[in-house]
Amino acid sequence: MKTTLALLAFSFLFAFASCKKDSGSNHAVSFIEPSGTANGNGEYTIEGQIISPVALDKIILTKQGQSAPFLEDATTAKNKTDHTFSYQVTGITQDTYIIMDFYNLQGGKSTSKFLIKK
pLDDT in tens, the chain (118 residues): 544 434 333 343 333 333 334 445 678 999 999 999 999 999 999 999 999 999 999 999 999 999 999 999 999 999 999 999 999 999 999 999 999 999 999 999 999 999 999 9
Q: Are 85 and 92 in contact (CB under 8 A)?
A: no
Determine the Cα–Cα distance for residues 54 and 25; give it in Å rounded to an integer. 8
Phi and psi at residue 14, in whole multiples of 5°?
A: -65, -45
* Structure confidence at residue 88 (pLDDT): 97
Say what the pLDDT of residue 93 is. Answer: 95
Q: Is residue 7 part of a domain?
A: no
> Is 18 a member of any domain?
no
pLDDT the model gives residue 24: 53
The CATH number linked to 57 is 2.60.40.10
User: Residue 59: what pLDDT?
Assistant: 96
- Would you say residue 29 lies in a domain? yes
9: in domain: no
Q: Which of 73, 70, 27, 33 is nearest to 51 (CA)?
A: 27
Number of folded domains that form the chain: 1
Tell me what pLDDT residue 27 has: 81
**E strands, 1-118, where?**
28-31, 36-37, 44-51, 56-63, 71-73, 82-89, 96-104, 109-117
Q: Distance (Å, rounded) from C-alpha 76 to C-alpha 62?
A: 18
Strand-pair category, 36-37 with 109-117: parallel
- Does some domain include residue 79? yes
